[in-house]
Amino acid sequence: MTLFGDALVLRAVREGLILVLLLSGPPLAASLVTGFVIGLLQAATQIQDATLAFVPKLVVVLLVLAAMGPVLGAALVRFSQALFLAVGAVR
Task: Tell me the pLDDT tens digit for each residue of 2-44.
Answer: 666 788 888 989 999 999 999 999 999 999 999 999 999 988 9
Are 31 and 54 a contacting pair, CB within 8 Å? no
Give a yes or no: residue 90 inside a domain.
no
- Of the candidates 68, 69, 66, 36, the one whose C-alpha atom is nearest the C-alpha of residue 53 is 36
Give a yes or no: residue 26 inside a domain.
no
Give a yes or no: residue 70 inside a domain.
yes
Give a yes or no: residue 58 inside a domain.
yes
How much is the pTM?
Answer: 0.78
Give a yes or no: residue 72 inside a domain.
yes
Q: How many domains does the chain have?
A: 1
Give a yes or no: residue 45 inside a domain.
yes
Give a yes or no: residue 41 inside a domain.
yes
C-alpha distance from residue 67 to each of 12, 46, 53 (Å): 27, 33, 22
What burial letters (b/e) apply to 64-82, b meaning 16+ CB within 10 Å?
beeebeeebeeeeeebeee
Give a yes or no: residue 22 inside a domain.
no
Domain of residue 42 covers: 32-85
